[in-house]
A and B are shown apart, each in its own frame.
Chain A
Amino acid sequence: MPQDGTQAAGAAGQQPRITLVDVSLRDGSHAVGHQFTSDQVARVAAALDRARVPVFEVSHGDGLGGSSLQYGFSREPDMEWLRAAVQNAPNTRVSVLLLPGIGTRRELRQAVELGATVARIATHCTEADIAPQHIALAREMGMTVCGFLMMAHMLPPAELARQARIMEDAGAHVVYVVDSAGALLVEEARERVQALRDALQCEVGFHGHNNLGLGVANTIAALEAGATWLDGSLCGLGAGAGNTQLEVLAAVLDRMGIDTGVDVYGVMDAAEEVVKPILPRPIVIDRDALVIGYAGVYSSFLLHARRAAERFGVEARDILMELGRRRTVGGQEDQIIQVAYELAQRSGARTGP
């Protein structure tokens, strides 16, 4: 078991076995086109702190350094969001996300200076060996480190566990099964978490999306298979049809008699009073979000595909299905433009402004 950090999240003396992690201010960044203001971040952070959520994450949706033409420019630099979050959440540990290939160790160092104490290092599920540099640095700086294996539906359980071992060996305290596409069925989520649980000494986490309506169900299956770090977001604010809805998960866990240390009314209030008013659109499973789960493509492709559909005069659903057929991975937002362009060429539609 790791010595530093992963169990330090509870109230004095109390050591909740389950660590709930809120990702409203990171995965939710996708849903708002990375347009959070520091003021919004401050209010959400304070509400999460009041609700005694032990860890929450703040970053561009594609992690530190994600602000780009490829993924969308942030309204404000990540570091401004991080500063606002840390200042308004004295009792909560603040996490940052980093995708090697997009962000670098430089941004990770800046985040630590601003008070981030948890780092989640994310790779496509087959590419864990691009993360050790970043995992090692995060550990060296005293952070709690989570390895984040994205698009976990694309790899069978045993192979996923082998990738997880690379992250554990590099120093991760927790390794996550990340259902970035919201494509895992309940049994598939369970098998993957179980495979990691069997293969690793460290803790196992689960990050779900709700594209097939299975966010909470998959998270509970993951819990039953041994996951102890569980992600969710307020009102489900996140990419695609959103994440596992945190306030719902907290209530379900409470009904199951599992003490997470989180104030169930507190997260309900945070969702209803702080996040709901800033939702740009209802986080629901509409046609395109469902297709993302059905085709198994990266949830943050949703809004990009809609924009490309409009620009090139094609259907978002056709773009998303084709991206699934091409086995695109997270971060390949440029392929959306290429696919839309090619569909438009083929159908003789206009080729965009």
Chain B
Amino acid sequence: MAVGVGILGSGNIGTDLMYKVLRNPHLHLRMLAGIDPASEGLARARALGVPTSTAGIDAILADPEIRIVFDATSAHAHLKHAPLLKEAGKLAIDLTPASVGPPVVPAIPRPEDAWPDNISMATCGAQATVPIVYAIGRAAAVDYAEIVATIASKSAGPGTRQNIDEFTVATARALERVGGAARGKAIIILNPAEPPIMMTNTIYALVPSVDEKELAGSVEAMVQEIQRYVPGYRLKVPPLVADAPGGDGRLVTVMLEVEGAGDFLPRYAGNLDIMTAAAVRVAEQLAASGRAAA
């Protein structure tokens, strides 16, 4: 049976999530809750027959059938929502930069019983690059991973712009905690070119040594895994291996591009699409794990 889910926040992210949840046979969208009666997202939901509310978190808390809640509001709001959702026994999937719960990347396997009740989707940069670091790590020990996420200016909302330090810090932490790198560093660049560029990501990893065939296979397998929920996720430059600067060990370089599904957000906004797609994938995994039935 499909698991009841609610979406908090009726902005671009909440609206895009709505389209993805409605398509998913394992999830049943019980409500899109916002706070702005004039919100375009709420109007779209009503037109699609999705129950809506302008009571925000209160409306979500009032429905006991909602087991999983996507929070697409703001970091500030999520800090208030998190304890309320926990108290109500609901599982939170946090798309804000609040980082209340541990970061989760759905393409990376995790033990069935290890699901926390608050899951952070970390950042778009993390969702795009951490799996590749993990894949490199299957072929070699990653001493240091560094990623560069370049996104179209138009796809960077005020949340990203006002919290750019939080973005780099949270992404670096995810490279270590989820990707398995001993040390991580993240850089984000906004590019205003018209027409807007696709999200592009570069992953650099320093490893002592690596079997290039095994590396290529591992990265390719991971790309295919991510394509199951982000069809526009593509390798642009397959793993290149060179001597590390300074001569000690090897430098692995991988480059990829993320084109969005264009559900609600424009196709160039792959950075936003990978967040909503990954969040829905996590909800699906929660549903399958039985964790959401508790």
Residues of A within 8 A of B (CB): 68-70, 72-73, 100-102, 104-106, 124, 126-127, 129-130, 132-133, 311, 326-329, 331-332, 334-335, 337-338, 341, 351-353
Number of A-B contacts (CB under 8 A): 94
**Could you tell me the distance in whole angstroms from the C-beta of A222 to the nearest C-beta in chain B?**
24
1/0 per residue, CB under 8 A from A, across B188-206: the answer is: 1111110000001010101
One of B73-81, B158-166, B215-223 at the interface:
B158-166
Q: How far is the CA of A335 from the CA of B240 in the complex (A)?
A: 14
**Could you tell me the distance in whole angstroms from the C-beta of B200 to the nearest C-beta in chain A?**
8
Does the CB pair A337–B245 fall under 8 Å?
no
Q: How far is the CA of A346 from the CA of B242 in the complex (A)?
A: 21
For this complex, 23 residue pairs linking A to B, each with C-beta atoms less than 8 Å apart, are A69-B251, A70-B146, A70-B204, A101-B189, A106-B165, A126-B192, A127-B190, A129-B161, A133-B162, A133-B165, A311-B242, A327-B193, A328-B191, A329-B189, A329-B191, A329-B192, A334-B148, A335-B150, A337-B202, A338-B255, A341-B237, A341-B240, A353-B243
Does the CB pair A133–B164 fall under 8 Å?
yes
Give the residue name and chain of the B residue nearest to A151 (CB): B192
**Could you tell me the distance in whole angstroms from the C-beta of A153 to the nearest C-beta in chain B?**
13
B236 within 8 A of A: yes
Measured between beta carbons, the chain B residues less than 8 angstroms from A341 are: 237, 240
Measured between beta carbons, the chain A residues less than 8 angstroms from B163 are: 133
Given contacts A70-B202, A132-B162, A334-B148, contact A102 B255 (CB under 8 A): no
Given contacts A70-B146, A331-B187, A352-B242, contact A104 B255 (CB under 8 A): no
Given contacts A73-B246, A101-B189, contact A130 B255 (CB under 8 A): no
Q: How far is the CA of A352 from the CA of B240 in the complex (A)?
A: 8
Which 3 pairs across A and B sit closest by C-beta, in order of nearness?
A334-B202, A327-B193, A69-B204
Does the CB pair A126–B164 fall under 8 Å?
no
Q: Specify which of B161, B185, B200, B240 is in contact with A68 (CB 8 Å cutoff).
A: B185
Measured between beta carbons, the chain B residues less than 8 angstroms from A311 are: 242
Measured between beta carbons, the chain B residues less than 8 angstroms from A68 are: 146, 185, 187
Q: Classify the secondary structure of B's interface with A.
A: strand
**Could you tell me the distance in whole angstroms from the C-beta of B227 to the nearest C-beta in chain A?**
20
Measured between beta carbons, the chain A residues less than 8 angstroms from B209 are: none
Q: A332-B150, A337-B240 are in contact. List 14 more A-B contacts (CB 8 A).
A: A69-B204, A69-B206, A101-B187, A126-B153, A127-B190, A129-B162, A329-B191, A329-B192, A331-B148, A332-B189, A334-B200, A335-B150, A338-B255, A353-B242
Measured between beta carbons, the chain A residues less than 8 angstroms from B202 are: 70, 334, 337-338
Q: How far is the CA of A217 from the CA of B164 in the complex (A)?
A: 36
Does the CB pair A70–B187 fall under 8 Å?
yes
Measured between beta carbons, the chain B residues less than 8 angstroms from A72 are: 245
Q: How far is the CA of A68 from the CA of B204 in the complex (A)?
A: 10
Measured between beta carbons, the chain A residues less than 8 angstroms from B168 are: 101-102, 104
Given contacts A100-B164, A101-B164, A331-B187, contact A337 B251 (CB under 8 A): no
Give the residue name and chain of the A residue nearest to B144 (CB): A69
Q: What is the size, in residues, of chain B's interface with A at 8 Å between Cβ atoms? A: 36
Q: How far is the CA of A72 from the CA of B242 in the complex (A)?
A: 15
Q: How far is the CA of A110 from the CA of B251 in the complex (A)?
A: 30
Does the CB pair B161–A69 fall under 8 Å?
no
Does the CB pair B165–A100 fall under 8 Å?
yes
Does the CB pair B187–A338 fall under 8 Å?
no
Q: Specify which of A102, A104, A332 is in contact with B191 (CB 8 Å cutoff).
A: A332
Measured between beta carbons, the chain B residues less than 8 angstroms from A335 are: 150, 200
Measured between beta carbons, the chain B residues less than 8 angstroms from A106 are: 165
Q: How far is the CA of A347 from the CA of B11 in the complex (A)?
A: 46
Does the CB pair B150–A338 fall under 8 Å?
no
Measured between beta carbons, the chain B residues less than 8 angstroms from A351 are: 240
Measured between beta carbons, the chain B residues less than 8 angstroms from A132 are: 162
**Could you tell me the distance in whole angstroms from the C-beta of A298 to the nearest C-beta in chain B?**
11
Q: How far is the CA of A331 from the CA of B168 in the complex (A)?
A: 15
Measured between beta carbons, the chain A residues less than 8 angstroms from B237 are: 337-338, 341
B54 within 8 A of A: no
Q: How far is the CA of A353 from the CA of B163 in the complex (A)?
A: 39
Does the CB pair A101–B236 fall under 8 Å?
no
Q: How far is the CA of A341 from the CA of B187 in the complex (A)?
A: 22
Measured between beta carbons, the chain A residues less than 8 angstroms from B236 are: 338
Given contacts A124-B192, A334-B202, A352-B240, contact A130 B164 (CB under 8 A): yes
B100 within 8 A of A: no
B286 within 8 A of A: no
**Could you tell me the distance in whole angstroms from the C-beta of A72 to the nearest C-beta in chain B?**
7
